[in-house]
Chains A and B, each alone.
Chain A
Amino acid sequence: MARRPEGPPPPPVVARIRVRFAKRGRLRFLSHRDIARAIERGLRRAGVPMAYSAGFSPHPRISWVGAAPTGAASEAEYVEFGLAAAVDPEWLRSALDAALPPGLDVLDAVLVPGSSTVGSSGSGPGSDGAGPAGTRMSGSGSLAERIDASRWWIRLPGVGEPALSAAVAELLGRDEVVVERATKDGRRRFDVRPAVVLAVCRAENGTCAILELVARHTTPAVRPDDVLTALYVVAGLRLSAPPEPIRLDQGRLLDDGTLADPLAPDRNDAGRLVGRSSA
């Protein structure tokens, strides 16, 4: 006889909060699964009123967008939480940050406009102030829709800037650079070149170059390691030490090569929302 979970279905999502977080220092070795577990535990420790899926194994409503690879640090990871009660985004940011280990640092949190029936300021869990229906607004696109590129800062210890510049010039001059990477489904070959939007070389000092890279999110995703493999393929650039990539930004690629902050539309809409509510 099949059992069904007893009781009413779990409470619906009444608000959504989007968060930007960093993985820094030694925690750059966390995989996406490690981060997901740490954040779920952090949310419970912080007492964030998460909404859950139904069924025998309810899962918190968490939507992830493209995680930085294991070993890469990041200043710009994004995640969206579906909440069972509205909370102040700044409260969530600081409470979650305090509940996570140093190195997983919550940098920003915004309420998705229209996702909540209450204003974004001053409400903690337990606030049940349902706002007027007129304050509902549609959010302008999912996080994934607002992110199509990353900006990377890749330290290359042991590499001189002239060698890097020469290799990058060679790469940018090609129409196609095919590399191979081992994936869980075996070895995969793909073209790196279309993903490379911008590549700027700098010297930290005589023995350490820096590659600043803007890369489009393609399928399969082109990672910093793949671009470095491409530099080896086109120009024989060899690394004597592991590269140290940091993702600085994610967002929509603009014509000038910069990235639009994916949380800005929510922040701006929230500003208008608050402005209108208080008018």
Chain B
Amino acid sequence: MSGQSLFARLEPLLPRVRRPVQYVGGEGNSVVKPWESAAVRWCLMYPDAYEVGLPNQGLQILYEILNERPDVLAERTYSVWPDLEALLREHDLPQFTVDAHRAVGDFDLFGVSFSTELGYTNLLTALDLAGIGLHADQRGEDAPLVVAGGHAAFNPEPIADFVDAVVLGDGEEAVLGITDVVRDWKATGRPGGRRELLVRLARRRLVYVPAFFDVTYRADGRIEQVRANRTDIPARPSKHTLSDLDSWPYPKAPLVPLAETVHERMSVEIFRGCTRGCRFCQAGMITRPVRERNIETVGAMVDAGLRATGFNEVGLLSLSSADHTEIGRIATGLADRYADSRVSLSLPSTRVDAFNVTLANEFSRNGRRSGLTFAPEGGSERLRKVINKMVSAEDLVRTVSTAYAHGWRQVKLYFMCGLPTETDEDVLEIAELARQVIRAGRVASGHRDIRCTVSIGGFVPKPHTPFQWVGQASHELTDARLKLLRDTVRADREIARAVGFRYHDGRPGIIEGLLARGDRRVGAVIERVWRDGGRFDGWSEHFSFDRWSNACAAELEPLGISLGWFTTREREEREVLPWDHLDAGLDRDWLWADWQEALRGTELDDCRWTPCYDCGVCPTMGTDTQIGPTGRTLLPIVGVGSGAPA
């Protein structure tokens, strides 16, 4: 019978695996509903380990929104580690939910959220363990509808064979819309089977169905065209944009894990979207326009969330939190409100300016001032103009001086390597910046014992950005530049001891690049890697570059294409890109023009405080920037810290 708990069969296996607590569920604010009470049943997955997946805000929001509906049931599942995967196979147990330990294959919908492309092999593990056919066209009528979402799903072509449908953009209204369609379809006896259901979902502009689009290729391997193979659906699926975030204050009751996770805090998203226009940033491009939650909503969400969870740390999240129009009053208001409690506040923002330090000071009035992170992203002034990160060396030195003077002990600087037009000299300027930062810090703090950590990530070009056409830097080039930089810093006796240096091997970035800008032919590579044992590719101890490059050689080279063809090759303006038929609202001509501006080193201002520069999103999507200041205030709360009777 469907919906039965598998826990009795799972329990004897748990003492044999590492950290069994991650599989038992029972989290604070988790929900278990009777199977028969629901007309539509969703299984939601974050395709990574529990410790990474549980804190994911997107999944928690959808979980709560769906479970608020009386006739809808939503449970969660995460990737099982290879030790449990082997035991599940040995004992013939399927992928299960952590809430009620039900088989994933029993649900109507299987929604998988991809923050990163490196979760694709974990999708295949879950499908296979669940007994769901790997390929959408192999699935029976009773199999759950496999729906992908999340930022990586803005180019779902590499996983097009494995998913039935894709949601682009904000999921809140989309999942409810999908739920309604599925409920009606089930209630009327599933007319036309799953194909008719997919048609209805596509026609209502809720999802993109890859099977309804055909791709043809040119002799040179490039895409000829991507075209809908039926006329009764929109030719260009588009993203969902949630308006008025104050009406959607989710999660209201965040999940409180029993196992240790990567973020042991409550998060409140203070706005969505970003129009700073950093040209490398996919999140900033695909989540436009900026939509703020006002100070009153933020204050109420913090209060309600703390009461519901018992967390003692609150993070105010967004793509650039210091940019909220009411952030100063939010910071002061919350710092005042929680001054006498043990609640700590954090603003994981990395904007380089002194105001950011002021905010950080407010949030650490009475706490430890350990480290502040700033993200200049590019080493040289020239490169920062290319990527549209408008920060000068003077800005940075002034900002870190302020930080050190206010008692912060360590500053972390985040850069990228492998940016378009980058030279060795651009990267070596990171050493010069670090030198200036250490010198200024020693003056400002009055002592020599200060630290600066330089953290460097490899740049991966992403779809729907002005850099979607660029050739990715090879991992050999990136690694060589970083070695040069490290040697330069180490040879500088003035700063060698004060500067820490963190960077990662460039090879995973190449595979991320393949999956980010790949087309449907990359699906065979993913499947081959998975069959060869590829799992948890976001984890360095599991990632194998050789496995990926061998699979690329086997699957792509017979087609006249290669790993390098997808990654380090620069595209021409008119080349059909695998995601061109998916509408993120961005005008392709604007993206190209902005790429040309990048090459000229021309900067672009934020449209929140300068005139619209016609990126295309608002008119295409019928949306508008929604920002304050609203003039509202942080409402006082009652009975902080004690719910005890007198």
Contact = CB atoms under 8 A, between A and B. Distances in A.
B80 to A, nearest CB: 14
B311 interface: yes
Interface in A192-243: 241-242
A74 to B, nearest CB: 15
B420 to A, nearest CB: 42
A33 interface: yes
Given A56-B368, A71-B15, A101-B258, A27 B24 contact: yes
Interface stretch (A45-53, A108-116, A177-185): A45-53
Interface in B367-411: 367-369, 407
Contacts of B365: 6
Nearest to B444: A1
A138 interface: no
B18 to A, nearest CB: 11
Contacts, number: 105
Contacts of B11: 26
Nearest to A95: B644
Contacts of A37: 258, 260, 264
B260 A49 contact: no
- From B7, B24, B260, B264, name the one whose CB has the most chain A CB atoms within 10 angstroms: B24
A257 interface: no
Given A1-B407, A34-B258, A38-B258, A125 B642 contact: yes
A44 B310 contact: yes
B309 A48 contact: no
Please classify the interface of chain B as helix (H, G, I), strand (E, B), loop, or mixed, using the class held by over half of its residues: loop
B471 to A, nearest CB: 47
Contact of B24 (A26, A38, A47): A26
A34 B445 contact: no
Interface string B238-257: 00000000000000000010
B636 interface: no
B312 interface: yes
- From B308, B368, B645, name the one whose CB has the most chain A CB atoms within 10 angstroms: B645
B123 to A, nearest CB: 26
A6 B644 contact: no
Contact of B258 (A30, A71, A87, A124): A30
A41 interface: yes
B91 to A, nearest CB: 12
Contacts of A31: 21
- From B24, B310, B311, B312, name the one whose CB has the most chain A CB atoms within 10 angstroms: B310
A125 B644 contact: yes
B247 to A, nearest CB: 27
Contact of B259 (A34, A57, A71): A34
A56 B367 contact: yes
A95 B342 CA distance: 19
Contacts of B366: 5-7
Given A29-B20, A58-B342, A101-B26, A41 B256 contact: yes
A126 interface: yes
A242 B9 CA distance: 12
Interface in A73-104: 87, 91, 95, 99, 101-103
A95 B643 contact: yes
A275 to B, nearest CB: 25
Contacts of B407: 1-3
Interface in A1-18: 1-3, 5-7
A119 to B, nearest CB: 15
B644 A124 contact: yes
Contact of A242 (B16, B23, B342): B16
A42 interface: yes
Contacts of B20: 29, 70-71
Contacts of B15: 71, 242
B24 A29 contact: yes
Please classify the interface of chain A as helix (H, G, I), strand (E, B), loop, or mixed, using the class held by over half of its residues: loop
B12 interface: yes
Interface in B226-281: 256, 258-260, 264
A99 B260 contact: no
B221 interface: no
A57 to B, nearest CB: 6
A99 B644 contact: no
Nearest to B29: A101
Interface residues of A, number: 46
B361 to A, nearest CB: 11
A103 B26 contact: yes
B26 A46 contact: no
B14 interface: yes
Contacts of A1: 407, 445-446
B14 A42 contact: no
Nearest to B344: A57
Contacts of B85: none
Contact of A48 (B27, B260, B644): B644
Interface in A229-261: 241-242
Contacts of A71: 14-15, 20
A57 B308 CA distance: 23
B28 interface: yes
Given A1-B407, A26-B25, A91 B446 contact: no
A241 B312 CA distance: 40
B258 A47 contact: no
Contacts of B82: none
Contacts of B445: 1
Contacts of B195: none
Nearest to B643: A47
Nearest to A243: B15
B504 interface: no
A128 B111 CA distance: 54
B241 to A, nearest CB: 35
A91 B12 CA distance: 37
A205 to B, nearest CB: 17
A126 B367 contact: no
Nearest to A99: B310
Nearest to A35: B258
- From A31, A42, A95, A127, name the one whose CB has the most chain B CB atoms within 10 angstroms: A31
Contacts of A127: 646
Given A71-B15, A87-B644, A3 B369 contact: yes
Contacts of A38: 258
A95 B26 CA distance: 19
A27 B258 contact: yes
Interface in B601-646: 641-646
Contacts of B260: 33-34, 37
A7 B641 CA distance: 19
Contacts of B24: 26-27, 29
Contacts of B28: 41, 101
Contacts of A52: 342
Contact of A34 (B21, B310, B646): B21
Contacts of B264: 37
Contact of A45 (B23, B307, B369, B645): B307
A90 B586 CA distance: 61
B12 A241 contact: yes
Interface in B287-311: 306-311
A25 to B, nearest CB: 9
A232 to B, nearest CB: 16
Nearest to B404: A1
Contacts of B27: 101
A15 to B, nearest CB: 13
Complex A-B, nearest 4 residue pairs according to Cβ-Cβ distance, in ascending order:
A41-B310, A45-B310, A56-B368, A47-B643
30 contacts: A1-B407, A1-B446, A2-B407, A3-B369, A5-B367, A6-B365, A26-B24, A29-B21, A30-B21, A33-B260, A41-B312, A44-B306, A44-B312, A45-B309, A45-B643, A47-B644, A49-B641, A49-B644, A56-B368, A57-B367, A58-B342, A70-B20, A71-B15, A71-B20, A91-B645, A95-B643, A124-B645, A124-B646, A125-B642, A126-B644
Given A3-B407, A37-B258, A125-B644, 4 more contacts: A38-B258, A45-B308, A126-B646, A127-B646
